[in-house]
Structure formats: structure tokens, C-alpha cells
Structure 1
Amino acid sequence: MLEVSQVTGGYFNLPVLKEISFSVQHHEIVGLIGLNGAGKSTTIKEIIGFLQPYAGIIRLYGQELQTDPVAYRKKIGYIPETPMLYEELTLREHFEIVAMAYEKDLDQSLERLAPYLKRFRLDQKLDWLPAEFSKGMKQKVMILCAILVDPDLYIVDEPFLGLDPLAIEDLLQFLLEERKKGKGILMSTHVLDTAERVCDRYILLHQGQVLAEGSLAAIQEQFQMPDQGLHDIYLRVTQED
């Protein structure tokens, strides 16, 4: 589904990523793991087209962003770390904007969103403005906007910030359901214990390079740390470095 091949990129000709390569397939959740500054957000920005790689290729279903930007972006549902809402638009109007941008039928989209609105406890708040939302509620709006898109690939950047434990569990269950439907999910997070519950594979970024990639068992074998959790492995490896 998604192929990142030998990508070098960053900001203002200052490389942050150094020839990173990985993939995301159907039916899997891939955890993008790393310390602050490791390159997680830069990687995501390169994939969704906010940044252009200095070198390397990013393909979605074999298609590059530059070939057909509209078709490329329609396949992605992006949930950012920081909610980005229009203060003058209600929740319902946010959905209308997203539906228009992705050429989705609004009535069908709202019908599809109905069970998720209840799950995230926003079904009675369609006429609320963002000023009335808590930080966690704003994050839920971003999740719902991505669900409305019905993408093939979800890109989720630090999704648990601001969410209460119940909302975190709701989000995790949703991601597992989408994986079962055949969607691919790339999730950046610092919450390694939670990532370990749902991720099939991991990409460990460190100083802009892929330090390790694979299942937990494969990473345990690579670093000769059998029976250790992802959190302990990552702490030890980065501290030793």
C-alpha cells in the first residue's frame, strides 16, 4: 500500500531524515516510534505532502504524490497531533467542509458517522462551536473527520494526547476494526505500552534513521533482548547510543 524508499528530507535544506525505507500493508497497524526529534513528524509530513523529500521516493499504491495529488490524498485519512478547527464553524459544518473537499455525499457521510459520533460521545454536539469543546473533544473531531474520508490508509500522529482513558480505548477499538476491514494504519506515538497492544510491526526511528523494523519478536531478536517489552528495548538502545 505505502512504500517509503530511501527518503532523505527535512527543513530548509537541513536533512532530518537520512535514507529511511519502510512500508505499510493492508490489514496492519505499524507503529512509528522515536524520541522527540527522531523524525516521526517529518516522516509523516513527507508522506502527506506537506514537505517534499530531497531524495528518495514515496508511493501509495505505486503512485507518487506529484503524479496525481488529488487522487493520492483522497486515499489518506490524517489525524494530526494538534487539532486544527475553524472557530466559526460548528461540528456539523466541519463535516460538510470535509465531505465537499473529498467529494463525498454529505447525507451518506453523516449516516456512516452516526455510530462513531455516539461512540465518541459527540452525537448531541453537532451544533457546537470549537470554543465549547475541550482539548480531548477537539481531538475526537479530527478522528471523526478522518473516518468521514473512509481512506485506505490512516496516518495517525500522537493520537492519544488529550484523550481520556475511555476515548483512548474507543480509538484503539476503532483502529483494530479498520485493520480487520483491510485498511493500513501508520501510527506515531510515544505511548509504547499502548502501541504494543495493537501494532503488528514497528519502525524505530533514531536521529533520522531507521534503527530497527519488524514485529516485537524480530526486534527482541535483533537487540538480543528476549522477553523485553518495546518500552524497555527502546530506552536501553537509545540510552546506550
Structure 2
Amino acid sequence: MKPVLEVKGLTGGYSPRRPVLHDLNFEVGAGEMVGLIGLNGAGKSTAIKHILGLMQAHEGEIRIGGHTLAEEPEHYRHSLAYVPETPLLFDELTVEEHLRLTGMAYDVEEAAFNQRSEGLLEEFYMLPKRKAFASHLSKGMRQKVMIMNALLARPSLYVIDEPFLGLDPLGIRSLLDKLVEVTKEGSSVFMSSHILSTVESYCSRFIVLHQGVIVAQGTLADVCGAAGMSRDGGAGSLEEAFYRLVADGGTHGSFR
């Protein structure tokens, strides 16, 4: 089975003379939740922008469902949904209208739209705010609208950048429960987050990005091994492995 997301030899950034990313190679399979972790400035957001098609690679290619953006732009864009770190909404639209706009963009049938939208409004405790304009929502509520829009679309790939910022505990729990649900249904999640304990608990594989280079990737055992740690007896955590990999510039080497 082909991976949902394939990144091969990706080198890129804002200037060809000074690339931010250097020869990134990784995959995300169907039904997987993969965590992208790194310090501020490691290149996580730049990598995500390349996947979204907002930046053009200097070298390498990115495929979603076996297609590049240049080959099949409509298929590529319909295959992914993005939740950014900072919610971006139309102030003049209500919560319901944002969901309706997303349903139209992703060609969601009316019956499916009604079922999904009602369920998401209930699960994220937004039923009382369904008629509220985006300009009247708190940051956490605006983030919930972004998340609901992504979940409404039911794409094969969810790209999520720091999704927990601004969310209350109920919102975080609702999001994590839904991510587990969509992966069980076969969709994939590529998630960037600084909350390493949550990433460790919910992701099956991890990518550690440092100074634009993948210094470790794979299961928790793989990452701990790349950090020079022993996993005997269940010892070692993602947080400790991450610290060892990036604190000294990633001198433990890489797992690719």
C-alpha cells in the first residue's frame, strides 16, 4: 500500500542560497499518526508550508496519495486538511457558515454535512455558539472552528500545527479523541507539537527535526536508540531522547 504522504529529498526554504530544510525523507502511512518535533526555528513550519504547497521545493518532491501538486492540484488539495497554529477565520461569517463553506469546498454531500456538522458542534461544545460571528469568539473557540472544519472535510491526510494552543482541557480531549477516531477509519495525521508527552502517548512514530535536518525518526525505540539511550525495561521517554538529540546539536547521529 502506498504511503498517504511521501517526502523525498526535500530541500527548501525562502531563499535558494540559504535553504532551511536539507534533504528530508519520510513517509506517513494510512491510519498513522506521526509527530513532528523540534525546537523553535528547526524548520517545522517551513516543512509544513512545503507540504501544503505554499512554498516550492528547491529539490525533491512531495506526494499525497501518490500525486504531486503539479500533477493533480485538485486531487492533492482535496486530500488534505490543515489546522494552523493561529486560527484564520472570516470575521463576518458565523460558526455554521464556516462549516458550510468548508463543506462546499470539499464537495461534502448534504446529508453527510448535516450529520457531521451537528456531531462536531456537540463534541466541541460549540452548539451555543453556532450562530456567533467569528469576530465574537475567543481564540480557543476560533481554534475549535478551524479543527471542526478540518474534521468535517474527512480528507486522507490531516496536517496539524500546534493544535493545542488556546484550547481548554475539554477541547484538547475532544480533538485527541477525534484524531484517534479518524486514524482508525484510515486517515493519516501529521502533527507538529511541543507537548511531547501528548505526542508520545498518541503518535506511533516520530520525526525529530533539528536545524533543518532529520536527526532521528521512527518508533519511540528508534528515536531513543538514535539518542544513545537504552529501552530495556521500558526506560526512556520521548522528552529525554529529544533533549539528548538537540541539546548538543544532534551529535548522536540520525536514524533514517
The equivalent of 2:254 in structure 1 is: none
- Contact 2:227/2:244 (CA < 8 Å) preserved in 1? no
- Contact 1:27/1:179 (CA < 8 Å) preserved in 2? yes
- Contact 1:96/1:106 (CA < 8 Å) preserved in 2? no
Deviation at 1:114, TM superposition (A): 1.5
Deviation at 1:122, TM superposition (A): 0.6
- Measured in 1, the distance between the counterparts of 2:227 and 2:92 equals 51
The answer to whether residue 38 in structure 2 is matched with residue 23 in structure 1 is no
Deviation at 1:113, TM superposition (A): 2.2
- List alignment gaps of at least 5 residues for structure 1: none
- Deviation per residue, 1:89-124 (Å, 9 max, x gap): 111111122122222234531322212211100122
Count of residues in correspondence between the two structures: 241
Name the amino acid aligned to 2:13: G
- Deviation per residue, 1:184-237 (Å, 9 max, x gap): 110000110110110000000000010101000111122221222111111122
Deviation at 1:239, TM superposition (A): 1.3
Q: How do residues 58-97 of structure 1 correspond to structure 2 at under 5 angstroms?
A: 58-97=62-101
- Measured in 2, the distance between the counterparts of 1:12 and 1:131 equals 36
Greater Cα shift, 91-100 or 67-76 = 91-100
Secondary structure at the counterpart of residue 26 of structure 2: strand
Secondary structure at the counterpart of residue 118 of structure 2: helix
- Deviation per residue, 1:153-199 (Å, 9 max, x gap): 11110000001122111111111111111111100001101101100
- Measured in 1, the distance between the counterparts of 2:174 and 2:108 equals 25
Q: How do residues 199-214 of structure 1 correspond to structure 2 at under 5 angstroms?
A: 199-214=203-218
- Measured in 1, the distance between the counterparts of 2:110 and 2:94 equals 15
| Residue among 79, 101, 104 paired with 2:108 | 104
Q: Deviation above 4 Å: which 4+ runs of structure 1?
A: none
- Measured in 1, the distance between the counterparts of 2:89 and 2:164 equals 18
- List alignment gaps of at least 5 residues for structure 2: 250-256
Secondary structure at the counterpart of residue 124 of structure 1: helix
- Contact 2:37/2:194 (CA < 8 Å) preserved in 1? yes
The answer to whether residue 59 in structure 2 is matched with residue 55 in structure 1 is yes
- Contact 1:8/1:19 (CA < 8 Å) preserved in 2? yes
The answer to whether residue 10 in structure 2 is matched with residue 2 in structure 1 is no
The equivalent of 1:240 in structure 2 is: 248
The equivalent of 2:147 in structure 1 is: 143
| Residue among 192, 196, 199 paired with 1:192 | 196
The equivalent of 2:39 in structure 1 is: 35
- Contact 1:33/1:202 (CA < 8 Å) preserved in 2? yes
Secondary structure at the counterpart of residue 19 of structure 2: strand
Identity of aligned residues (%): 45
The answer to whether residue 238 in structure 2 is matched with residue 230 in structure 1 is yes
- Measured in 1, the distance between the counterparts of 2:85 and 2:204 equals 22
- Contact 1:30/1:187 (CA < 8 Å) preserved in 2? yes
- Measured in 1, the distance between the counterparts of 2:103 and 2:187 equals 20
Deviation at 1:74, TM superposition (A): 0.3
- Contact 1:225/1:233 (CA < 8 Å) preserved in 2? yes
The answer to whether residue 163 in structure 2 is matched with residue 156 in structure 1 is no
- Measured in 2, the distance between the counterparts of 1:94 and 1:107 equals 17
